[in-house]
Structure formats: C-alpha cells, structure tokens
Amino acid sequence: MAERLPLFIGGEFIDSESNETLPVTDPATQEVLVDLPFATPQEIDRAVASAQETFAAWREVPTPERARLMLRYQDLLKKHQDDIARGLSRETGKTFADAQGDVWRGIEVVEHACNIASLMMGETVENVAGRIDSYSYTQPLGVCAGITPFNFPAMIPLWMFPIAIACGNTFVLKPSEQDPMTPNRLTELFVDAGAPDGVLQVIHGGKEQVDALLTHPDIRAISFVGSVPVAQHVYRTGTQHLKRVQAMAGAKNHMVVMPDANKDQVINNLVGSACGAAGQRCMAISVAVFVGEAAEWIPEIRDAMAKLEPGPWDQESSAYGPQITPQARERILGFIAAGKEEGADCMLDGSDCTVDGYPDGNWVGPTLFSNISTDMSIYKEEIFGPVLLCAETGSLDDAIGMINANPYGNGTSIFTSSGGAARKFQHEIDVGQVGINIPIPVPLPFFSFTGWRRSFFGDQHAYGKQAVKFYTETKTVTARWFDEAPAGGPNMTIRLS
C-alpha cells in the first residue's frame, strides 16, 4: 500500500478522513508514488475556518515582519531547490533541468514578495482642500484560495500564496491532484521558514473540492490556473458567489518567422519551445507562422525535431519527459489522428513512440504538421503535447491577422532582424505577452503574467504589482486636524517601534 499524502490544516499535517483516494503515479513507469485522499467537506470547512481565525492576527503582523518570513522562505527554497526539483521530476516526468527551472521561476516570485512593503505603498496628496490631506493604504482582503494545474507544481503555487500571505491574507491552496507532492514539500519548507500556524492550508482533491472553495462564504478571492473550460467555470461560479477571481487559462501560442530572421536561432528556439516539457506549457509555441520564403526552413525544423528523444527525467539524453497521464497521451494521439483525417500534412508523427526500458510511460514523440488551415481541430484546440503546426502566409500583416483572429491571447513571438517588423508586431498583436526573438516570453515577477482574451478571465493578473492589487483593498483617508497633538517623551534611538 502506498503512503497517503497529508492535508495541511491549522499548522498540522493530517491524514484525511476520506476514503476517496487517487493514486499519484510516476508517468514514466506508472509506479504509484502516493495515494491522495480527497478532502471531505468538513475538512475544507476546517481549513477555511483556520485561515479565517488566523487572519485577525496575521493582518496585524508588521509588514516588514511578513517580508522577513519571505526572506527566510526564499533562502530555504534556494537551499533545497535541487531536492524539490528531483521530487517534481518524479511526479511530473519533467527532465531534471526543466524541473529546476520550474522551481527557480517560483523562487523568483518569493524574492519579489520580500519587497512587499514597497509594493503595498499607498498614495498621498497634501492639501486637497484647506488643511485637508488625502492618503490611501492597501489592506489585505481576508481568506484567499488558490487552485493550480499539473504542469508547474512549484512555480504556480508560488505565484499565489507567497504574495497573498505577504500582503497580510491567509490562504487555502488546492494543488493539482496529478502532482500534489511538490506543493506539500513547498509547504513543509514554509513551516520551516517560520510561517505561523493557520496562515497557509493545503487541501487536496478535484472538482468537488474546487466547487466547495468557489462557493464558500468566507473566501474573498480565488486565484486559478488551468484549462479554458474549468477557468470559465471557476470565474462564473466564483464571481456569482461575489468573490474576486483571476483565472489564467489555456492557450494557442504562435511564433511568426520572418525571412530575415537568423535561421539557426529560429530552429533551436522553435524546437525547444514546441517540445520542451513535452509541450505541456501554457506558453509553449504550438503554431509557427512562416512569412514568405521562411517556409523553406520547415523541412530542417522537422529534421531537428526528429532528433529529439523523449525519456525518463534522470537520463542525460532525454530531451523531454512523458505526458502527465495515459489519458493526456490518448487525447494528444486523438488530435494527431484528427489532423491527418482533416487533411493536414503530418511530416513527423510521434504517435508510436517507445522508450527503451520504459514500456509503460506516457510517451508521445515530436510531431509536426504542415499544410494546416484555421478550421481544423488541431488548430482550434489546445493540444498540450509536443505537436507543432506550421502555417504559411504571404506577409506580416496576414500573420498578425491570423493570430488576432485566434481566440487565445496568452503569448506570441516574432523572430526577425527588422526593428520595424518587430515594432509593428508588438503594437498590433492582440496578445498579452510578446517575445521579440524570445520564444516563451514569461515575464519576470516585477511585471505581471498578462495573458489576454480567452487565456484569462478577470482583470488583475498573477504576480507583480497587479497581484498585490488583486490581493488587497485600497482604503482612502481624507483627514483634517484641528489641534496640534502634545509631544511624547524623547525617543533616543533611531529605531521606530
């Protein structure tokens, strides 16, 4: 019998009373790593109640003290980053180097949360009327909740709870049920960093547990990352229950390749961004749009992709790992079959991929389609696998038109040596995150993760200044004083108390 993964409520790791469990498996072997009990309704209520009780005290902890917790946390995360990455690799199948990147990009958000006092600063205007001053504060909301997807089990939880908690909120995290061990490890380190009991709770589960959070009267804000249909459900249900919601969703990211681009850079960047993490990134490039004679490079791109060998996380030669579950693999194979039926040219077919020594892994080989059209299902849907579609257009205007007509707006990129083309692209493109000779333009945490259109529901985005706005209220004070207050005794030190 595999071990059961605990919940974390009120500062304690506890075994759930639930008998409903899901085996969490190694996607390269199907070995069961842990059994995951899904939290009961009573446990969810206890988690929210614990967060609610703790909020009263936590909001009073001075902001620099909250920042110091984040400083200790980022230090511990850095010390343990390789251990976290090893565990993450086992449960997701990501190569070790890619898992290290997942952890690192989360640590960067914690580093940013260390600066919370500056981020929470309000505004002041003196003399808005005779002897009257106005100023604003940002104050925490209360209990916030985060619901995260499988594909970044370190980075995405770290987009959420460190910022929310640094702002003075308390938090309930519901990680993906596919890879919940990494979030539990992040929680252990948060405890080791000195997080007070009740500031963070972790409950495990799936739809039922998410719905309990979305409808819970004591939760003020919900951060969600996942697929489009679930993001829409979360946004609708959460807002119907009068919560603040930010829901980051799925994508179909295009890279425009201009004929004046550096060919070798295009090939390396395109292949890496289409197939890295087995295509399981919301910012993966899944469509390349070749302008004019750049289309002549497609066969070389196919050849470069054909050299990629998927394999287990701890094997040096593995270019990428397996898909997260057998169901995810089946879904991708369904798309590859549909693409062929719909008449696209499958120049590289990864449907029959095998890896020596790992007969049970969820492998999909690199796959490339050309001759695609925008009404095909492989173009309209997010495939979330190592599958690249190649489209051709006669001009940059046509490429921009194609991308703007696609409903998703998470990320896009242009490869060119022309400043004029790049400037036109960045200005006219209807997508929230743009790379210029950068294939996966995920912003660093002093900016925000600004997906648009069907890739995002809400208004304030994840991390950066926008996340601080999301997790706080603004209070504006208009003040008039009639008398001078009497002076206190002298303070002989430089320290404020």
Catalytic residue numbers, as ranges:
282
Residue whose structure tokens are 């902890």: 61
> Parallel, antiparallel, or unpaired: how do β-strands 32-37 and 124-129 relate?
unpaired
Encoding tokens for residue 439? Answer: 């294939």
> Parallel, antiparallel, or unpaired: how do β-strands 472-480 and 132-140 relate?
antiparallel
Encoding tokens for residue 94? Answer: 């990501």
In 10 A of CB 88, how many CB atoms? 28
Give yes or no for a contact between 350 and 376, defined as CB atoms under 8 angstroms apart.
no
Distance of alpha carbon 447 from the chain centroid: 14
Residues 6+ apart with CB under 8 A from 210: 147, 174, 230, 234
Nearest to 343 by CA among 302, 371, 380: 371
Q: How many Cα neighbours within 13 Å face the side chain of 60?
A: 4
Angle of helix 228-240 relative to helix 207-214, nearest 10 degrees, comes to 30
> Distance between CA atoms of 432 and 452, rounded to whole angstroms?
5
Give yes or no for a contact between 43 and 17, defined as CB atoms under 8 angstroms apart.
yes
Q: Which amino acid is at 180?
A: P
Give yes or no for a contact between 62 and 356, defined as CB atoms under 8 angstroms apart.
no
CB contact burial 356-390 (16+ within 10 A = b; e otherwise): eebeebbbbbbbbbbebeeebebbeebbbbbbbbb
